[in-house]
A = this chain, B = another copy of it.
Amino acid sequence: MDTKTLCLGALSRADASGYEIKKAFEDGPLGHFHAASFGSIYPALNALDAEGLVACTEMAQEKRPDKKVYSITPRGRDTLARALMAPPAPDRVRSDFLFTLFLAHLLPAPRVGELIDARIAWYRDCLKQMESCDPTDRPAGAAFVHGLGVTLYRAAADYLTAHRADLLDAMAGEDRMVAE
């Protein structure tokens, strides 16, 4: 799924500028399952405009730089729907955290504790933010994915909290090769 489709998806929910789409992938819900940077969003938006899949309105603003607000066209909506009908590519996860924990025996125990604590704090922050917004006025799909996210983050935070001590205990009794 390329950045063009991602932008189309974002614009299917509401008109937005490139800057706002980026924010949606940073703080918004999209960020939890996909990424996109300025360097990929702006070219994608221009390409989409050239293909007639989005329309662009220049908005002059006071005390702010000008904005280009994009809105999806009927043809854009069609293209998006078609792209969504394709069999989704398998999920791609890259987690340095998990990889590092997997090799915990190569690290000093306090460092492992730190890593886990930081991750628990991160999940709790996400959950606080996710639970603050009520999902009732959103489309069913968005509410569904939101619920899944909350469930998964909660399960992860709970697991880490419950088994943190076990891991550190097990490490204490293990043959280890620790960095200085």
Contacts and interface: CB of A to CB of B under 8 A. Distances in A.
A84 interface: yes
- Tell me which of A12, A145, A156 has the highest count of chain B C-beta atoms within 10 A of its own C-beta: A145
A120 interface: no
Nearest to A91: B95
A71 to B, nearest CB: 14
B1 A102 contact: no
B170 A30 contact: no
Given A81-B107, A85-B179, A141-B167, 17 more contacts: A30-B99, A30-B102, A32-B93, A33-B98, A34-B94, A34-B99, A84-B100, A84-B107, A84-B179, A85-B111, A88-B96, A88-B97, A92-B94, A93-B93, A139-B174, A141-B171, A147-B163
